[in-house]
Chains A and B, each alone.
Chain A
Amino acid sequence: MGHRDLTRSVPDGAEPPDWLGSDDPYAAVDIERLPDWWHDAIVEFRAHDLPPYQPPRFADDVLVPPVVSETEAAYNTEIKLMGVNVNHGDAWGVWVNGEVAATVERERTTDGYTLYEMTSEEFVATVETWVETEMR
C-alpha cells in the first residue's frame, strides 16, 4: 500500500530517556519541553498527588503514545488500546477503526506504568495486517 515501513524504526521520542527510571524522574526535567501529552499527564498526576506519571510501554521498552500516533497517521486509522468490560488481569484489545485487530496482555508494573506484552514492531505489524486485510 506504499506506507512507510514503521516496523523497522522507532518514532522520535519513543525511546524512554534514562532519567525516567529514577524515583523522582522529573526533578531535573523542564516538563515544558516534553510533548503535550506527556506534560499534561505530569501536571494532572501532580495535581492529584499521584505517584509520578510514567508513560505506558511496549514489551521492547518503547513508549506507547508516539508509536500509536505515528501509526494512526501512517495508516489514516483510529487506533485504541482498550478493554471492554474488563476486570483486573484481563487482556485488552488493539482496536482499529472500531474493530478488534488483536488482543494484548498487559500489566501495571510496580513502577506505575502499564507494560503491554507486545513489542512496538508487533503492534505496528498488527495494524498493518488489519489495514491490508480490512481496508483493501
Chain B
Amino acid sequence: MSESPQPDPDRANLHHVTAADDIADGERIIVEVSGREIAVFHSNGEYYALSNYCTHQGGPACEGLLGGTLDVDDDDELVWACEDEIVACPWHGWEFDITDGTHTASDEYRLPTYDVHVRDGDVYVEL
C-alpha cells in the first residue's frame, strides 16, 4: 500500500475502487476493473490487491477462506502465523499469500498483484 507520495487520480492506470471505510480490517472487496477481477484485502492494517484468477485452473482464487498457515519458529516448533494473510481458492484449495501473491507451497506460482493507493479516504488500484 502507498499513502505517500499521493497518487494522481487522473493517471490512466489508476482505478478508483471504493471508499476505504467500505473495507473493514479483515474484509475484502472484489471488483471488476478493465475486464479483470481484482480482490482488495484490508488485512492487519494494510491493503493488498491480487488477481482473482487461480494459477491452477482459473478459479476465483480470492473468494475462498481467509486465514493463516503453519510456520516453523526459531526453535523448530510449529506455530500458527500469517493470520488473515492466506487465501484459499474455493475450487481446489490452492493457497496464496495475499501480501505478495505467492503460492504457499511452491515458488513456481504467483498471482498477479497490484499496488494499492489510499487518497482522501478512497482506495485506488494501479494496473
B-binding residues in A (CB < 8 A) = 37-38, 40-41, 44-45, 47-51, 54-56, 64-65, 68, 78, 80-88, 92, 95, 98, 108, 110, 112, 114
Contact B35 A38 (CB under 8 A): yes
Contact A50 B35 (CB under 8 A): no
**Does B111 have its Cβ within 8 Å of any Cβ on chain A?**
yes
Contact A50 B53 (CB under 8 A): yes
Contact partners of B58 in chain A: CB under 8 A: 50-51, 54, 108, 112
Contacts of B41-92 to chain A: CB distance below 8 A: 51, 53, 55, 57-60, 63-64, 90-91
Q: Which of A56, A68, A85 has the most CB of B within 10 A?
A: A85
Q: How far is the CB of B101 from chain A (nearest CB, A)?
A: 8
Contact partners of B16 in chain A: CB under 8 A: 78
Contact partners of A41 in chain B: CB under 8 A: 34-36
Look across to chain A and name the residue whose beta carbon is closest to the beta carbon of B122: A98
Known: A56-B32, A82-B31, A114-B37. A88 touches B63 (CB 8 A): yes
Interface size on B, residues (CB 8 A): 33
Known: A40-B127, A44-B51, A50-B53. A82 touches B35 (CB 8 A): no
Known: A48-B55, A98-B19. A88 touches B32 (CB 8 A): no
Contact B35 A65 (CB under 8 A): yes
Alpha-carbon gap, A50 to B63, bound state (A): 17
Look across to chain B and name the residue whose beta carbon is closest to the beta carbon of A95: B18
Contact A88 B55 (CB under 8 A): no
Alpha-carbon gap, A48 to B63, bound state (A): 19
Alpha-carbon gap, A108 to B31, bound state (A): 14
Contact partners of A65 in chain B: CB under 8 A: 34-35
Q: How far is the CB of A45 from chain B (nearest CB, A)?
A: 7
Alpha-carbon gap, A45 to B37, bound state (A): 12
Alpha-carbon gap, A49 to B34, bound state (A): 20
Contact partners of A98 in chain B: CB under 8 A: 18-19
Alpha-carbon gap, A47 to B113, bound state (A): 12
Q: How far is the CB of B7 from chain A (nearest CB, A)?
A: 17
Contact partners of A40 in chain B: CB under 8 A: 34, 127
Contact A49 B55 (CB under 8 A): yes
Q: How far is the CB of A36 from chain B (nearest CB, A)?
A: 8
Contact partners of A38 in chain B: CB under 8 A: 35
6 A-B pairs with the lowest CB-CB distances in the bound complex, closest first: A112-B58, A88-B90, A88-B63, A37-B34, A82-B31, A51-B58
Known: A45-B53, A112-B58, A114-B37. A82 touches B63 (CB 8 A): no
